[in-house]
Chain A
């Protein structure tokens, strides 16, 4: 069954701690993305990766880090430098290649709460 999985579904963190959110896809997609959503707001891009071992900053990358060591996986680390990390985090992926079908699909999300 193909799709995008995110774990955990809910995550609680104490101030000053780093946490890593998992995102895995088995759709053979080249590109993966991380978005943040605050209550009542739209989605804002944190980081994206078009190919393994390469990634680019989005609009709100400060306080976050990513890695892309495997095509299937794109973990997001929320560091202690992120001033207001409580939010809903969504991972997405899409097929890559110029002229290809770039429809983007989303995982179910992780709700992070800083205590």
Chain B
């Protein structure tokens, strides 16, 4: 099945710093999502981005489907950005509404 690798596994930032999180996947995809898991465990949808670039406030994401990677950019980080960021993908050779495959996540800690 499709493999998803995220890097770095852990990241510590000073408040106000910028960061880039990476997601590599092993096959072509028709669905890629970025999630933020907050300290209470809730998974928050950040981006649905199988290709192209999207921005939402201080966050933006880019997926280069032909090169099988996606990047999540966090600018001017805040302590509330702390948590785990997951990338999840669904391969386009899988028909129908089959489940996402998750990476192991990047644990981000933003220090005031």
Contacts and interface: CB of A to CB of B under 8 A. Distances in A.
Interface of A: 30-31, 33, 37, 41-45, 48, 50, 58, 88, 90, 94-98, 100-106, 108-109, 111
Interface stretch (B19-27, B53-61, B88-96): B88-96
A101 B33 CA distance: 12
B43 A98 contact: no
B55 to A, nearest CB: 17
A103 B99 contact: no
Contacts of B80: none
B68 interface: no
Contacts of B99: 33, 45, 48, 58, 104
Given A42-B103, A58-B99, A98-B95, A105 B86 contact: no
Sorting the interface of chain B by its residue count into under 10, 10 to 19, 20 to 34 or 35 or more gives: 20 to 34
Nearest to B103: A42
28 contacts: A33-B99, A37-B41, A42-B86, A42-B102, A42-B104, A42-B105, A43-B88, A43-B102, A45-B99, A50-B97, A58-B99, A90-B43, A94-B97, A97-B97, A98-B95, A98-B96, A102-B90, A103-B48, A104-B33, A104-B88, A104-B100, A105-B45, A106-B35, A106-B42, A106-B45, A108-B40, A108-B42, A109-B41
A67 B41 CA distance: 25
Contact of A103 (B42, B45, B86, B104): B45
Most B Cβ at <10 Å: residue of A37, A41, A88, A111: A37
B31 interface: yes
